[in-house]
């Protein structure tokens, strides 16, 4: 999917990913004509195209994505809206502050729609889906040196247990880690379906009690570890906080006073980090306003798009608090 042509006008679902909580994100971001909006996770450009239309031809949408194919696709899609100019940056959003400062850009809003896009999970060659047979790769960026297969071959029992417990929050982490170490002596664990089968075996009769496939959490844990997802989110939040401090001190930085930050997470580890950081920034007087509760999708949205089910959106407005 390397930069394949986006279609225009845009039939729903034609882009390989349906944007989640689009209306809520736009409402929280309030993109206006001439603005500079940052989409940290360009994906298939669903949110970015809407931002491009809102900022119009005098505005710009700065796009980050680790996946070169998705970045190119999203940039073309933004340009095809006839709205804002696309500024694609093929790096992790962990470097957002540095990359914007280097270009002298000041953002009026920033969106991060975390995790992976549907076109990535639907591609068996990436090994993100436990349903389709594929190599256990899981790298969103092909330049990342370590794949899931490498981790499964290299980590010892205690390291695997810790990884599955911490990033998958799976109470069966110890049994799964033991099973992996035992079975890889016979045959390296190299495919998605092989791993899914081993995890089911480790669950034993308890697999029947699990609402989702018992390997779901192990897959999540490996994907988070391979792509350092929580490290990147922590770095992004730290960059946002540092820029908000500059706003408070009246110094210039890469975030404009009043800039709006929107983060959509898909599991409790992400949501907890965002919630705690926004609360800490609020206590430090860095935020004018913020969501108190996460915004979640409507029944209609989750019915139409199963991926939206676990989404939680939190927003914050950088700058001095407004009189209540």
Closest to ligand SAM by CB, 47 vs 179, is 47
Q: Which of 36, 60, 92, 108 binds ligand SAM (CB under 6 A)?
A: 92
Distance CA 278, CA 121 (A): 30
Tokens (6 digits) for 295: 């915004």
Q: Does 35 bind ligand SAM (CB under 6 A)?
A: no
Residue 60: CB minimum distance to ligand SAM, A: 17
| Residue 198 CA, distance from chain mean position | 28
Helix or strand or coil: residue 202? helix
- State the minimum distance, in angstroms, from the CB of residue 67 to ligand SAM: 4
Pick the closer one to ligand SAM by CB: 61 or 140: 140
- Tally the C-alpha atoms within 13 A of residue 189's C-alpha that lie toward its C-beta: 26
Stretch that binds ligand SAM, among 91-99, 151-159, 163-171, 172-180 (CB under 6 A): 91-99
N-term to C-term CA, the chain: 49
Q: Are 223 and 128 in contact (CB under 8 A)?
A: yes
- For residue 214, what are its two tokens? 């018992």
Instruction: Write the interaction track for ligand SAM spanning residues 109-138; mark x where CB under 6 A is met and - where it is not.
Output: ----x-xxx---------------------
Q: Does 43 bind ligand SAM (CB under 6 A)?
A: yes
Sole binder of ligand SAM in the list 31, 45, 168, 288 (CB under 6 A): 45
CB 37, CB 62: distance < 8 Å: yes
Sheet containing strand 287-290, edge to edge, reads 85-89, 60-64, 36-39, 107-113, 255-265, 312-318, 287-290
Considering only residues 75, 86, 140, 240, which one is a binding residue for ligand SAM as defined by CB under 6 A?
140
By the rule CB under 6 A, 54 interacts with ligand SAM: no
Q: Which two tokens stand for residue 58?
A: 């005098």
What is the Cα–Cα distance from 135 to 148, expressed in whole angstroms?
9
Beta carbon nearer to ligand SAM, 228 or 282: 228
Beta-strand pair 312-318/255-265: antiparallel
Residues within window 192-251 making contact with ligand SAM, judged by CB under 6 A: 227, 232
SS3 308: helix
Cβ proximity to ligand SAM, 1 vs 181, nearer residue:
1
Please identify, using beta-carbon distances, which residue of 63 and 173 lies nearer to ligand SAM: 63
Decide: is 78 part of the binding site for ligand SAM (CB under 6 A): no
Fill in the DSSP letter of residue 89: E
Concatenating the DSSP letter of every residue in 233-277 gives HHHHHHHHHHHHHHHHTT---SEEEEEEEEEEESSHHHHHHHHHH
Q: Which is nearer to ligand SAM, 116 or 203 (CB)?
A: 116
Residue from 59, 81, 93, 136 touching ligand SAM (CB under 6 A): that is 93
Q: Which of 54, 60, 70, 108 binds ligand SAM (CB under 6 A)?
A: 70
According to the binding rule CB under 6 A, does residue 170 interact with ligand SAM? no
* Binding of residue 257 to ligand SAM (CB under 6 A): no
User: Closest residue (Cβ) to ligand SAM?
Assistant: 43
Selected from 21, 28, 44, 121, the binder of ligand SAM by CB under 6 A is 44
Residues whose CB is less than 8 angstroms from the CB of residue 142 and which lie 6 or more positions away in sequence, other chains included: 68
Which residues of the chain form contacts with ligand SAM (CB under 6 A)? 17, 19, 41, 43-47, 64-67, 70, 92-94, 113, 115-117, 140, 227, 232
């Amino acid at each position: 999917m390397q930069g394949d042509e986006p279609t225009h006008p845009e039939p729903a679902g034609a882009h390989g990913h349906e944007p989640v909580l689009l209306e809520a994100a736009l409402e929280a971001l309030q993109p206006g004509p001439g603005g500079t909006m940052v989409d940290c996770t360009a994906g298939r450009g669903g949110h970015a195209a809407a931002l491009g239309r809102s900022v119009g031809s005098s505005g710009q949408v700065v796009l980050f994505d680790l996946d070169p194919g998705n970045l190119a696709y999203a940039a073309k899609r933004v340009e095809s809206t006839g709205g804002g100019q696309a500024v694609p940056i093929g790096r992790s959003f962990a470097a957002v502050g540095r990359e914007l400062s280097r270009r002298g850009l000041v953002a009026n809003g920033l969106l991060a729609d975390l995790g992976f896009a549907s076109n990535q999970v639907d591609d068996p060659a990436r090994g993100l889906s436990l349903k389709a047979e594929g190599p256990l790769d899981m790298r969103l960026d092909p330049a990342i040196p370590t794949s899931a297969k490498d981790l499964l071959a290299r980590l010892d029992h205690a390291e695997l247990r810790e990884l599955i417990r911490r990033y998958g929050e799976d109470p069966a982490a110890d049994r799964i880690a033991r099973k992996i170490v035992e079975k890889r002596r016979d045959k390296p664990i190299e495919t998605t379906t092989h791993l899914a089968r081993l995890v089911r075996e480790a669950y034993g009769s308890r697999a029947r009690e699990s609402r989702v496939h018992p390997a779901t959490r192990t897959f999540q844990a490996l994907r988070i570890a391979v792509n350092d997802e929580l490290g990147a989110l922590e770095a992004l939040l730290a960059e946002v906080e540092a820029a908000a401090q500059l706003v408070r001190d009246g110094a210039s930085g890469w975030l404009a006073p009043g800039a709006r930050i929107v983060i959509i997470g898909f599991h409790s580890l992400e949501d907890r980090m965002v919630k705690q950081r926004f609360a800490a920034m609020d206590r430090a007087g860095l935020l004018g306003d913020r969501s108190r509760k996460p915004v979640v999708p409507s029944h209609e949205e989750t019915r139409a798009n199963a991926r939206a089910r676990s989404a939680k959106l939190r927003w914050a407005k950088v700058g001095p608090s407004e009189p209540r």
